[in-house]
Amino acid sequence: MSRLGFLGPQGTFTEIAAKTYARRVDEYIPYGDIKALINAVSRGEVDKVIVPIENSIQGGVTLTLDLLVEHDVKIISEVIIPVKHSLLTKKMVELDEIKHVMSMSQALAQCRSFLEDNLVDYQIHFTNSTVEGAEKLHDLDDSWAVIGNSEAAEHYNLEILREGIQDNEENWTRFVVLSQEEVSATANDKTSIICSLGQDHPGALYDILHEFAIRGINLTRIESRPAKKLLGDYIFFIDFEGHYQEKMLEDALDLVNYKASWYKLLGSYPKSMVIDDYSVS
């Protein structure tokens, strides 16, 4: 029986990514937070989990990055979906009837221009998630709306008053699928590693990146996070094209491992499956 954990409750963007990744999973299991998700796959409660790792506007999801340092799990796939926000209501009303809008802080911030341009004398209310607002909406009067997605509208039987209200059309979130097992190589792979520098000296990071550059290995992402030890001590998350078992990458990673004070291979996996629509139910 195949079990896939996702960041719940139902109607989140993570559920959309989960259903997009695996339409034939026997059971989708919602978890309340990212830490619980990664603990679940580490303990074998589920076969795989899917978690957000970065957003094109807000950058890396720091909790996911920190937990990848702590837990022995592998990245086996990635999914990239557009963040499309909608204004949801209990029934179809005119925009000037909306006096209260609720959602999580990020969603409200990403739709600020639409709200300012289209609503009059409204108040914003913060929730822990877009779905929390959708759940509450049925207990409120018709002057309330929530910013959410089409999956939440369908699940909670809400009307979509306006679609695509986000200020930036190029708003994408990347999700990674985690498991205890690796996946086989394909002809179109990406690899993720984590490392911290060895002895602190001028050009220490260059020494690491040089091993990729001289071999023509294309880096697709590099991000630093505090190592939570000494001030100024950082861990680097590096993504690059190719599979770690390829000879050229294997040679580079051997030297990175030698030069770094700490090194971890997160896995090689098929490159992103970019999704433009949410027809996943």
Q: What is the mean pLDDT of residues 14-39?
A: 87
Q: Where are the alpha helices (DSSP H) in the chain?
A: 13-21, 34-43, 62-70, 105-110, 112-118, 130-137, 150-155, 204-213, 247-259
Question: What percentage of the chain exceeds 90 in pLDDT?
Answer: 62
Let me know whether 156 and 124 are in one domain.
yes
Let me know whether 8 and 76 are in one domain.
yes
Let me know whether 177 and 266 are in one domain.
yes
The domain total for the chain is 2
Let me know whether 178 and 74 are in one domain.
yes
What pLDDT is recorded for position 170? Answer: 83
Let me know whether 179 and 68 are in one domain.
yes
Structural domain boundaries enclosing 98: 86-162
What pLDDT is recorded for position 267? Answer: 96
Give burial (CB, 10 Å; 0-12/13-18/19+) of 253.
buried
- Phi, psi (5° rounding) for residue 226? -60, 140
Tokens encoding 111 = 């739709």
Q: Which of 131, 162, 193 is the last residue of a domain?
A: 162
> Is the pLDDT at 160 greater than 60, yes or no?
yes
Let me know whether 183 and 76 are in one domain.
yes
Does 281 fall in a domain? no
Q: Which of 112, 132, 162 is the last residue of a domain?
A: 162
Let me know whether 148 and 18 are in one domain.
no
Average model confidence (pLDDT) across the chain: 89
Let me know whether 78 and 90 are in one domain.
no
Of 73-77, 173-177, 195-199, least confident by mean pLDDT is 195-199
Model confidence band, residue 281 (pLDDT cutoffs 50, 70, 90)? very low
What pLDDT is recorded for position 276? Answer: 59
Does 279 fall in a domain? no
Render pLDDT for 135-148 as a digit per residue (tens, 0 to 9): 899 899 999 999 99
Does 168 fall in a domain? no
Look up the pTM and report it. Answer: 0.85
What CATH number corresponds to the domain at position 219?
3.30.70.260
Does 212 fall in a domain? yes
What is the C-alpha separation between 186 and 235, in angstroms, rounded?
28
What pLDDT is recorded for position 229? Answer: 67
Let me know whether 241 and 262 are in one domain.
yes
Let me know whether 189 and 158 are in one domain.
no
Compute the CA torsion angle 18, 19, 23, 24 (nearest 10 deg): 60
Does 48 fall in a domain? yes
What is the C-alpha separation between 280 and 23, in angstroms, rounded?
8
Q: Which of 135, 162, 189 is the last residue of a domain?
A: 162
- Phi, psi (5° rounding) for residue 242? 110, 170
Does 280 fall in a domain? no
Among left, alpha and beta (phi > 0; psi -120 to 50; other), residue 189 is: beta
Q: What is the mean pLDDT of residues 249-273?
A: 93
Render pLDDT for 103-112 as a digit per residue (tens, 0 to 9): 988 889 889 9
**Cβ–Cβ under 8 Å, residues 127 and 102:** yes
What CATH number corresponds to the domain at position 128?
3.40.190.10
Let me know whether 217 and 143 are in one domain.
no
Does 167 fall in a domain? no
Render pLDDT for 190-243 as a digit per residue (tens, 0 to 9): 999 999 986 666 778 889 999 999 999 999 999 998 876 655 578 999 999 999
Let me know whether 211 and 190 are in one domain.
yes
Angle between helices 247-259 and 204-213 (to 10 degrees): 170
